[in-house]
Amino acid sequence: MSITRRLFGGAALASLVLAGQAHAEDPVRIALVVKALGIGFFEAAAEGAEEAAKELGNVEVIYTGPTDTTAEGQIEVINALIAQQVDAIAVSANDTDALVPALQKAMQRGITVISWDSGVAPEGRQLHLNPSSNPLIGNMIIKLAADELPEGGKVAVLSATTTSTNQNVWIEEMNKVMGNYPGIEVVGTVYGDDLADKSYREAQGLMQTYPDLDAIIAPTSVGIVAAAQAVADAGKIGQVNVTGLGLPSEMAGAIESGASKSFAIWNPIDLGYSATMLAYNLAKGGAVAEPGAEIPMGRMGALKLDDNNEGAMADPFVYDASNIEQFKDIF
């Protein structure tokens, strides 16, 4: 069955149910459009969306997306949703620009449109929900290392490439807040080019160059796994803590072995929840997406919009021994 037919089928069923409940107010139908179906990260986001719907009441979440991560697939899904006259579309985009015409058509038909996780160009949406922000990420990666070093200590950074824009910005933001972490000294920065074997060798090199190293910070999902393996292989679990940004599925072993005490990344459940709350408040007219606006996101607080109608949801979510089991099978 095609996605389009499945969606129409769902709409037809909903209308039959509602016909028998004429007195009931029509539900607010919010479509959570993901990059592709069958991906654990987005299925977790759908869980969050359902949590928001339950909290709000009278909200129907339509979780949908293409079968592969293409703009063409998402455009087909969006056109089906327009035909259904949903109230809101919240999309994690496969392409910043390609979705714009379809989403503009949706907005012209009175449908609320927001992007989340992976953004759409400003002309194709009312607002964009970033999972976090560069300053929040920069602070978090050094905080995770410092929290395990109350007496201070030496840390090193294992980044991706020298030209990686986001990595460089996060390290720059980290350096700006070093004054908040007295006693923590960054002794060096190396680059593993987001290659597992090179990242592993660079982590080995850091431990050889700095025998009294206390932590390796890797703001890259490839680097953090490689560094944790290097620490384990060097017999330095308990001496060198590996932290940074990683995926629970890939880091569960490092948390279990003690090579990593904790790491961070966004929480997809919170993302889906927040996107649904934002879409609802815009669709119901309870908020307007404009620079400086603060739009409620339920338990996640409020999203403050910048001049591009973008905002950051929260600090990166911290994963450790207390919650790794819950998330390792999700993403």
Tell me the pLDDT tens digit for each residue of 93-104: 999 999 999 999
Q: Which two tokens stand for residue 241?
A: 């803590």
Give the pLDDT confidence score for residue 327 in this predicted structure.
94
- Do 288 and 278 meet the contact criterion of CB atoms below 8 Å apart? no
Strand-strand pairing, 184-191 and 127-130: unpaired
- Do 32 and 45 meet the contact criterion of CB atoms below 8 Å apart? yes
Give the pLDDT confidence score for residue 3 in this predicted structure.
34
Q: Kindly list the structural domains of the chain, giving each domain's residue range(s) and its CATH number in brackets, ordered by start.
A: 3-130+268-314 (3.40.50.2300), 134-265 (3.40.50.2300)
Give the pLDDT confidence score for residue 330 in this predicted structure.
87
Strand order in the sheet with 88-91: 59-64, 28-33, 88-91, 112-116, 127-130, 310-312
Q: Which two tokens stand for residue 16?
A: 């039959």
Q: How far from chain centre, in Å, is Cα 118?
A: 8
pTM here is 0.84
Grade residue 4 by pLDDT with cuts at 50, 70 and 90.
very low
Tell me the pLDDT tens digit for each residue of 238-282: 999 999 999 999 999 999 999 999 999 999 999 999 999 999 999
Strand-strand pairing, 127-130 and 310-312: parallel
Percent share of the chain, pLDDT over 90 = 89
Grade residue 166 by pLDDT with cuts at 50, 70 and 90.
confident
Tell me the pLDDT tens digit for each residue of 170-203: 999 999 999 999 999 999 999 999 999 999 999 9
Q: Which two tokens stand for residue 28?
A: 């607010």
Grade residue 165 by pLDDT with cuts at 50, 70 and 90.
confident
Q: Is 309 left (phi over 0), alpha (psi -120 to 50) or beta?
A: left
Percent share of the chain, pLDDT over 70 = 93
Give the pLDDT confidence score for residue 269 in this predicted structure.
95
Give the pLDDT confidence score for residue 9 in this predicted structure.
40
DSSP annotation string for 130-186 = ESS-HHHHHHHHHHHHHHT-TT-EEEEEEES-TT-HHHHHHHHHHHHTGGGSTTEEE
